[in-house]
Structure 1
Amino acid sequence: MRASDVMTSNVISVTPDMTVREVARIFVDNGISGAPVLDADGRVVGMISEGDLLRRSEIGTDERTRASWLDLWSASHEARDYIKTHAVKVRDVMSTDVVTVEPDTPLGKVAGMLETRRIKRVPVTQAGRLVGILSRANLVQALASVPDEPATDVSLPDAEIRAMLMGELAGHKWSFAGRNIVVTDGVVHLWGVFQSMEAVDAVRVAAENIPGVKRVEDHTEPYQMMPGI
């Protein structure tokens, strides 16, 4: 799936010259927590979210409790902090380091951007113009919309099940060392040693996704550290 398949097309946007209070009302009235900021040509110049409005002088949340080392902040930091909490216009409060995606961007890449940059939404643009917005909620909605796979009575040969599982595990760092997999009548038996329960659980999940697997039985043993290591 791609960004255009799940994005919200009817986007509520704001402008740099709007006031912070106007934006707060827009958020409340429309039940949203963020919006792209567009210039007169309809291009994205920033993003503003609830996080940008948390610390405000109007409601007495502008004071930041500082640890002793934070008292060493430079004057420029202090000035930026003051602007963030006292500025009237959106242009002074919004985030300008905006990342955008295009309609044909794969959802996997979008999810990675949301995760690594620790953001909740990303504008979708085409030829520089806003065409939608894609949020974490949209990704969850996409997952909820995937139809359940119908139950099947597929019964693959044990050898094929084992081959498929070994192929799936190949190249994964979490695939525990010294493993052995035996498949009997659709039951996958895991043998060997492991360095973490997460590794065993990952192998189990991989096995459970193979058609014809009835269950997974774990016979693995914990990895024994050599004395002195």
Structure 2
Amino acid sequence: MRVQDVMSTRLATISPEHSVWHAAQIMLTEHVSGLPVLDDAQALIGMVTEGDLLRRSELGTPLGDGGVQERARAYVKSRSWKVGALMSAPVLSIDEDAPLSQVAMLLGLNRIKRLPVLRDARLVGIVSRADLLKVISAGGPDAEIRGDAAVSRALRARLEEAGAVLRRQPELHVAAGRVHVAGTMRSQEEIDVVRMVVDSVVGSGFKDDLTVVKEPR
């Protein structure tokens, strides 16, 4: 799945010359928590968010305990009436054909809620944490797999897929609708992976004889 598949294309934007109060009104009206800031050429130059507005002097927010330069910057951000003075810049963005895994990584690492989406350096959308949650919520359990052969194939495929975190594969037996998984794994964490995989395919009613191998001293 790509960014363009989940992003919002209904965009509320603002100019750096607009007032902070106007930005707050747009956020309230449009029910958004951040606005892309565009210059006269419609190029993305920053983002203004609820977090930026929470540092305003109208709320009595203190300047902090940083050095003189840091406090001076905080003073301007908390009192200037222009969006351009308190917006975050340069702004982190993402291309519309990027995978959702990249979105999740950037949002998590940078502790932000949204990313402007670009096409040929032009703003075309916004992708947010909420958009990723919609992808997750649209999922659900796989359809029930019937027949020993089908169950065995599904389990082996899932376990091979988990091979990146399994140093050895368990023994797997499927007969008369009963699943038996056995073998010595290299760690409890790897046993947990196998149990999760089997449970996701057949549920909790399987015979479990997995053990952790004892390493020689």
Using the TM superposition, give the Cα deviation of residue 201 of structure 1 relative to its aligned residue in structure 2, in angstroms.
2.7
Q: RMSD across aligned C-alpha pairs, in angstroms?
A: 2.9
**Cα deviation, residue 63, structure 1:** 4.5
Q: Cα–Cα, structure 1 residues 50 and 38, in superposed 2: closer, same or farther, change >3 Å?
A: same
Corresponding position: 1:104 with 2:97: yes
Structure 1 range deviating more: 127-136 or 183-192: 183-192
Partner of 1:13, secondary structure, is coil
Aligned residue in 1 for 2:30: 30
Would the alpha carbon gap of residues 84 and 112 (structure 1) be closer, same or farther in structure 2, given more than 3 Å must change? Answer: same
Q: Runs of 5+ in structure 1 lacking a partner?
A: 67-72
Corresponding residue pairs, total: 215
State whether structure 2 residue 67 is matched by structure 1 residue 74: yes
1:90 equivalent to 2:80? Answer no
Q: Is the CA contact 1:122–1:135 (under 8 Å) kept in the aligned structure 2?
A: yes
Deviations 1:38-71 (A, max 9, x none): 111111100111111112111212353x5xxxxx
Which residue of 2 is the match for residue 16 of structure 1? 16
TM-score by length of 1: 0.78
Q: Alpha-carbon deviations, 1:76-102, whole Å to 9, x = none?
A: 222122222222211111111312222
Corresponding residue to 1:187 among 179, 201, 207 = 179
Query: 2: CA distance between counterparts of 1:161 and 1:3?
Result: 29
Cα–Cα, structure 1 residues 50 and 3, in superposed 2: closer, same or farther, change >3 Å?
Answer: same
Residue 25 of structure 1 aligns with an amino acid whose one-letter code is: Q
Displacement, 1:157? 6.3
Shift of 1:168: 2.5
2:109 match: 116
> Which residue does the alignment assign to 1:52?
52
**1:220 shift after superposition:** 4.0
Q: Distance in 1 between matches of 2:10 and 2:151?
A: 51
